[in-house]
Amino acid sequence: ENKCPMLKLGSPRDPNKRGSQVAFHFQEGYAAMQALIERGVIGDFRAPDTMRFGFTPLYIDQQDIRAATDIITDVMQNRLWDTDAYKIRAAVT
């Protein structure tokens, strides 16, 4: 959150109350998710502004989470999502 203040946590902060998914709200969430997917961070967009990420310990470890966090930070801080190509909505997200 410190590195990406434009993201608002949308899921409970307490891991015992949220399960394995973490959600963030961001006005340009669709475009941001497309930029993340292109860089290998696969999440889910829910209208109007929610980006969801699942963390399954069976096949995602701390190294994966660190790598995803670095990519999310890069995409958000450098506004890599802010291109017309990422803003064109697909029929199915």
- Model-level pTM greater than 0.95? no
pLDDT in tens, 16-62: 898 889 999 999 999 999 999 999 999 999 999 999 999 888 889 99
pLDDT in tens, 52-71: 999 888 889 999 999 999 99
Domain range enclosing 13 = 1-53+78-85
Task: Output the pLDDT for position 18.
Answer: 87
Number of domains within the chain: 1
Q: Is 8 left (phi over 0), alpha (psi -120 to 50) or beta?
A: beta
- Asked if the structure places residue 16 within a domain, the reply is yes
- Asked if the structure places residue 63 within a domain, the reply is no
- Asked if the structure places residue 37 within a domain, the reply is yes
Sheet holding 8-9, edge to edge: 8-9, 21-25, 50-54, 44-46
